[in-house]
Amino acid sequence: MPVNPLLALVNGRVVDDHLPREGLAVLVRGKRIVALVADNDPRLADAQRHDLQGRLLLPGFIDVQVNGGGGLLFNDAPTVETLRGIAQAHRKFGTTGMLPTLITDTAEKMREALDAVDDAIEQRIPGILGIHVEGPFLANARKGIHNADLFRYPDESDIEALTAPHRGAVMLTLAPDQVSPITIARLSEAGVIVVAGHTAADYATTRAALDAGVRGFTHLYNAMTPLSSRDPGVVGAALDDPHSWCGLIVDGHHVHPAALRVAIAAKTRGKCVLVTDAMPPVGSDNPTYTLNGQTIVMRDGICQSEAGVLAGSGLDMAGAVRNAVQMLGLPLAEASRMASSYPAAWIGLDRTHGRIAAGYRADFAVMDDTLTVRETWVDGIAYAVN
């Protein structure tokens, strides 16, 4: 038997850039898609067949904001084993790629997290594409659940750690009112994906940060200055800018559905991305966790402190796609792109990830008609979902 036999995924409905299409087969060899062909293509005769049983075949989901899952929080133990467990928990929900996210912490913890992600990628832990460092260069006025006692300005050692060669993408959420355009430009030019969040900046400050290299916005609307008639704020700058990406938490709690629809209508197509901001209860039976010494409880999918402050979410990517279709009224193909090809573009992987096309990674989410994940494929390997 060949080392990398040809595999054919058949009897599915392929969701790529169009409506779900029948009569197609996806040919896979090793970690890559070879071709998308008619189901009577002669190459199928020599291929091993995998029957999708009429289900939907979507590109695997890419989540650029994952704090935890499976009962694990990245901040608690930034190790390869923690990353393995978080990725495994989210794989149940169609997530085939992620940026594990470190919430505001010490400089030492940030370095440990950067090293852990590098090691995980070197060890080929499925699904780890890089890291998202959310803080500590944030604004106290828009701190959310972050520990403001740890907020600070980036120094040379921070910049050196973030801009050193890394094996995956490095995304950094910072507040433009706390970090100068010069520093933003320096980070961006070194390859860091700089995004704005947890900020009290006005429109002009945010616009200057965009010009300096800010490429997106972390959980749009939340923890930032709002749009108003004479003061557009961070939200206005985000919606006005045609080039930047916006992460959207579509859980029905963080942002009203109407506000989400406004953002999607305002932004250039391809610039709104589904994210989860997921916490340890995702993929776990335990609804409780500790963050910054506070007990957080998930009830009805809402993660909150005792004071009622939102602390991430209990959302998974399959739920985000489902909500985008059912709550926002988006076509399934567009919701799928917001969970796959658009985030891949944001982190610079759009030539290899996020599409069902020849040459792309064989990462798939197999869903039934209720948009529940039944199988997840990472690098051409199928993972059954209970």
Catalytic residue numbers?
277
- How far, in Å, are 22, 179, 339 from residue 251 at the CA level? 30, 30, 14
Q: Of the candidates 250, 254, 258, which has an alpha carbon nearest to the alpha carbon of residue 311?
A: 254
Q: Of the candidates 188, 184, 181, 250, which has an alpha carbon nearest to the alpha carbon of residue 221?
A: 250
- How far, in Å, are 266, 307, 340 from residue 273 at the CA level? 14, 29, 8
Distance CA 251, CA 301 (A): 8
Distance CA 226, CA 201 (A): 10
Amino acid in the structure at residue 359? G
Handedness of CA 123, 124, 129, 132 (dihedral sign): negative
Are 322 and 371 in contact, with CB atoms under 8 Å apart?
Answer: yes
Distance CA 30, CA 185 (A): 39
- Helical (H) or strand (E) element with 159: helix 156-163
Residue in the block written with tokens 């923690």: 82
8, β-bridge pairs: 27, 49
Residue in the block written with tokens 């600070």: 152
Distance CA 17, CA 277 (A): 26
- How far, in Å, are 71, 99, 122, 279 from residue 294 at the CA level? 16, 24, 34, 14
Distance CA 91, CA 62 (A): 11
Buried residues in 102-116 as b, exposed as e (16+ CB within 10 A): bbbbeeebbbbbbbb
Q: Of the candidates 183, 205, 218, which has an alpha carbon nearest to the alpha carbon of residue 103?
A: 218
Distance CA 136, CA 334 (A): 33
